[in-house]
Amino acid sequence: MAGLTPEFEAFVTARGPALLRFAFMLTRDAGLAEDLVQEALIRAYGRWSQLVRLDSPEAYVRRIVVNQMLSWRRRRSTGEVPGSAPEHGTPDATDALAERDLVWRVIGGLPARQRAVLVLRYYEALTDREIADVLDCAEGTVRSLAARAFETLRRHPQLARSGERVTTGEN
């Protein structure tokens, strides 16, 4: 990576794959995830001298990724709607994989901020406070978004039919 500062290059090498996985979990689209991370890294590099002083420059870059994803969703003008899952015949060893795929497709249909809360909470293991910082909102908003997301998942007809049990992870 010619022309980059050694600190930024080390950051991209160390955290780039995790950022890409994070973006993919948000978008469920590999190409869009790559674009989001690339744009986030470009923006972060412009402010890198300030970011290296932060406790976690990665959190700042993650926030850029989330904001870019939310912005992209607002600009999206197509009326694409994900298709329904095909009916399965007799159960086989791929049923668990198919159910997990179904859950991810349903999560992919959630509003962007609700999906972001679920990914940040369960994939990135952030607290409500940390999620609120990333999304630039109140902790109560984070809990409200998560509750609405889970309510949508609980009421989704394909999940109810598949027998998938959707829980909040809270005891």
Could you tell me where in the chain the CATH 1.10.1740 domains are found?
6-75
pTM above 0.85, yes or no: no
In terms of residues, how long is the chain?
171
Ranges for all domains in the chain classified under CATH 1.10.10.10 = 95-162
Residue-wise pLDDT tens digits, 48-73: 888 878 778 888 899 999 988 888 76
The pLDDT value recorded for residue 118 is 92
Which residues, 6+ apart, have CB-to-CB distance to 59 below 8 Å? 130, 133, 134
CATH of 6-75, one of 1.10.1740, 2.40.350, 1.10.3470, 3.40.720: 1.10.1740
Helix %, strand %, coil % of the chain (to 5): 70, 0, 30
Q: Tens digit of pLDDT for each residue in 90-125? A: 666 677 787 788 888 888 889 999 999 999 998 889
pLDDT at 83: 59
pLDDT of residue 102: 84
Query: Is the CATH code 1.10.3720.10 the one for domain 95-162?
Result: no
Phi, psi of 8 (to 5 degrees): -70, -40
Provide the pLDDT for residue 70: 86
